[in-house]
Amino acid sequence: MKIVHIALLVSDLKRSAHFYEQVFDLQRLARPAALAFDGLWYGLEGGQQIHLMLLDNPYQDCDKPLHGGRDNHVAMQTDDITLISERLDAIDVPYTMSKSGRNALFCRDPDGNTIELTA
């Protein structure tokens, strides 16, 4: 088995697009027009995808831990964590490094979804 896509709830497509495209350099894919909600689809290596869905978030008022590694999260591999951290610094997005000592970075997107980057 392999993961085909990860779906994340977002509240503002323009803001989310700016984040995912600027920080992670993701490229948009065509999205089925017949869906009853708006969203953005992004392609990852190996045919996997991230789907950003503009839908009400039933979890928006939940408290989240400071360190994203102790929360639901999506983990992606990158060749350059330093580049990602520099991009996050440039737009004032906080992040934490792995508590286990691995070369992994945790940040949250504008809607609080946790993204882990490993090298």
Q: How many residues does the chain have?
A: 119
For each of the chain's 119 residues, which pLDDT tens digit applies? 989 999 999 999 999 999 999 999 999 999 998 999 999 999 999 999 999 999 998 888 888 888 888 889 999 999 999 999 999 999 999 999 998 989 999 999 999 999 999 98
Q: Which CATH superfamily is domain 5-55+67-118 in?
A: 2,3-Dihydroxybiphenyl 1,2-Dioxygenase, domain 1 (3.10.180.10)
CA distance 37 to 86: 33
Residue position matching structure tokens 């999260």? 73
